[in-house]
């Protein structure tokens, strides 16, 4: 029996999950969709992740959870905040 998929989990999807994943992808689950599917298959909304853990694209995916691999979420390295330079504001006339 396949493990149940929950939001915020990170999955590695390969050909074992669906033939569409010829090139494996890593995704973070946004939500499991309650759509009618074939027995053993599942629809999810997810963010496709880059190797550093940042989101590349939002996708709706159809796959077999039995073929998915649960992975530890990659640590996202926060980027440097860019300072915003503003010119002084004049008050009054």
1-11 tens-digit pLDDT:
668 999 999 99
Q: Is residue 2, in this structure, part of any structural domain at all?
A: no
Mean pLDDT of the chain: 86
75 has pLDDT over 70:
no
> Looking at residue 89, what is its pLDDT?
63
Encode 51-88 in three state secondary structure: CCCCEEEEEEEEECHHHCEEECCCCCCCCCCCCCCCCC
Reduced to 3 states (helix: H, G, I; strand: E, B; else coil), residue 33 is strand
Q: Is residue 88, in this structure, part of any structural domain at all?
A: no
Short-list 36, 72, 76, CA closest to 56: 76
If one counts every other C-beta atom within 10 angstroms of the C-beta of residue 14, the result is 16
Q: Is residue 14, in this structure, part of any structural domain at all?
A: yes
41 has pLDDT over 70:
yes
Angle at the Cα of 20 (from 17 to 21), degrees rounded to 5?
60
Short-list 22, 19, 18, 25, CA closest to 55: 25
Short-list 69, 74, 71, 72, CA closest to 53: 74
> Looking at residue 3, what is its pLDDT?
84
Range of the domain at 32: 10-71
If one compares 91 and 62, the residue with the highest pLDDT of the two is 62
Q: Is residue 47, in this structure, part of any structural domain at all?
A: yes
Q: Work out how many domains the chain is built from and give that number.
A: 1
């Amino acid at each position: 029996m396949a493990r149940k998929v929950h939001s915020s989990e990170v999955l590695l999807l390969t050909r074992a999950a669906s033939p569409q994943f010829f090139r494996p992808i890593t995704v973070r689950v946004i939500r499991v969709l309650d759509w009618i599917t074939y027995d053993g298959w599942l629809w999810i909304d997810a963010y496709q992740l880059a190797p550093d853990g940042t989101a590349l694209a939002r996708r709706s995916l159809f796959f077999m959870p039995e073929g998915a691999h649960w992975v530890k979420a990659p640590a996202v390295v926060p980027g440097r905040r860019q300072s915003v330079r503003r010119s002084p504001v004049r008050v009054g006339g």
